[in-house]
Amino acid sequence: MAKVIVLKGDERSAAKSINELFRLAGGIGSFIKKGDKVLLKPNFLNPKPSSTGCTTSPAVIEAVVKAVLKQGGIPIIGESSPVSFDTELTFKRLGIDKIARKHRISIIDLNKYTSRVVKVKDPLSLKKIRVSDLVFEVDKIINLPVMKTHSLTTISLGMKNLMGCVPGADKLVLHRVGMHEALVDLNSIIKPTFTIIDAIVAMEGSGPANGKPKRMGLLIGSGDLLASEIIGARIMGANPYQLKYIQLSKGKELGEYDIDKIEVFGEKLSDVKRKFSLPSSKASSIFSSLVLGTVPLAMSRMGIDISRIAQKLYDFMRPYPEFLDRCRKCRRCIINCPEKALTLNSHPKPLLDKKKCIKCYVCDEVCIYNCVRVRRK
């Protein structure tokens, strides 16, 4: 049985909650040994404070730092923000540099760290992925995502957070080839020792950057990445088995897939489950009915594979991003667009080339001024 811990907590009680979380999981000594170099991987998409639900709470990060130090480990905080953001400046604005100085630990911008190309075993979309060398130089990884919605994957938890281990513009490759498949490929390479989902302040709606904060007052932890993903999705009111990247994770040795084999400790799911405003569209529901419902069963008996038809229909119905008149012309969307589908020149806002746009919504993800809208059908 996989074990997932769900506890109530807030910024002021983070240290107590983190210690209790590890205790219920079997003790931090079950995961971290004396002398272990431990990479703490937060979610710092941009410099927005954790009160917005966009970034991992510094209180949670410091609590984990203290727990690792007490165990005799050597914590290292590492992250790579999108290429239009300065990761080191983000560290500073969020106060992570102060935590590092206080505890005499290192913080590392993974965009500037050395990296290597890693072959993917039995890939779904990527035969190889460039990953930060730090991932392989440490002994353990503690994954510290935020509970958020996501325009492309519906939710963003531990599996999506590991994209920060991919340096610089290489992240855009994952958007280009298909995010769901790429996430599974990436997670087959990077194996976190423990995942703690920061749901003290989560995000709903237009996540992962421009949604609304949703105070949940929860911390979710597990040594099983996929199990924590499935329980996190249920707490958000989503059916994990209707999320494509979780479907694709079955049999990929990413963790426990069967919810009947996942044991939850701490709070009861029925007591903490909240309905999130998910970025779902009519296209998503049609896609789910085609792929998950009775239609494919009936057609498969006729010898017809409709998976390609369903994908084309889904891609067609997904909306194009729209750019609002209040655009600040910061150019982050243009810099990060994997297909170079945006231009600005003398125009008041970016112009979108729909022939090039792959509807990956990176533009929405990196806009800190909330000037990009994905209109839901």
DSSP state of 118: E
Residues 141 and 80 in one domain: yes
Number of domains in the chain: 2
Q: How far apart are CA 66 and CA 254, in angstroms?
A: 28
Residues 107 and 216 in one domain: yes
Q: How far apart are CA 128 and CA 119, in angstroms?
A: 4
Per-residue CA distances from 65 to 22, 32, 259 (Å)? 13, 12, 31
Give pLDDT tens digits for 38-82: 999 999 999 999 999 999 999 999 999 999 999 999 999 999 988
Instruction: Identify whether 277 is part of a domain.
Output: no
Distance of CA 182 to the CA centre of its chain: 13
Residues 289 and 267 in one domain: no
The CATH number of residue 316's host domain is 3.30.70.20
The CATH number of residue 240's host domain is 3.40.50.11440
Domain boundary among 240, 272, 304: 272
Per-residue CA distances from 243 to 79, 123, 180, 253, 284 (Å)? 26, 19, 9, 17, 10
Instruction: Identify whether 262 is part of a domain.
Output: yes
Residues 140 and 236 in one domain: yes
Give pLDDT tens digits for 153-176: 999 999 999 999 999 889 988 988
Q: How far apart are CA 4 and CA 221, in angstroms?
A: 6
Residues 258 and 144 in one domain: yes
Q: How far apart are CA 311 and CA 315, in angstroms?
A: 6
Residues 343 and 239 in one domain: no
Residues 300 and 231 in one domain: no
Give pLDDT tens digits for 175-233: 888 899 999 999 999 999 999 999 999 999 988 988 999 999 999 999 999 999 999 99
Confidence tier at 360 by pLDDT (50, 70, 90): confident
Residues 198 and 244 in one domain: yes
Amino acid code (one letter) for 157: L
Give pLDDT tens digits for 251-277: 999 999 999 999 999 999 999 999 999
SS3 of residue 100 by DSSP: helix
Which one is predicted more confidently, 279 or 25? 25
Helix axes 282-292, 307-317, angle to 10 degrees: 170
Sequential DSSP letters for 103-114: HT-EEEETTTS-
Q: Answer for the pair 142, 37: CB distance below 8 angstroms, yes or no.
A: no
Within 10 angstroms of residue 46's Cβ, the number of other Cβ atoms is: 21
Within 10 angstroms of residue 24's Cβ, the number of other Cβ atoms is: 16
Instruction: Identify whether 212 is part of a domain.
Output: yes
Exposure string of 124-148, with b = 16+ CB inside 10 Å and e = fewer, is: bbbeebbbbebbeebebbbbbbbbb
Residues 146 and 85 in one domain: yes
Give pLDDT tens digits for 115-132: 999 999 999 999 999 999
The residue segments making up the domain with residue 210 are 2-272
* Tokens 């005799």, located at residue: 72
Residues 255 and 152 in one domain: yes
Sequential DSSP letters for 53-94: TSS--HHHHHHHHHHHHHTT-EEEEEE---TTS-HHHHHHHT
Residue % of the chain over a pLDDT of 70: 90
Instruction: Identify whether 85 is part of a domain.
Output: yes
Domain boundary among 221, 253, 272: 272
Share the mean pLDDT of the chain.
Answer: 91
Residues 40 and 87 in one domain: yes
Residues 297 and 246 in one domain: no
What would the two tokens of residue 102 be?
Answer: 């206080």
Give pLDDT tens digits for 222-239: 999 999 999 999 999 999
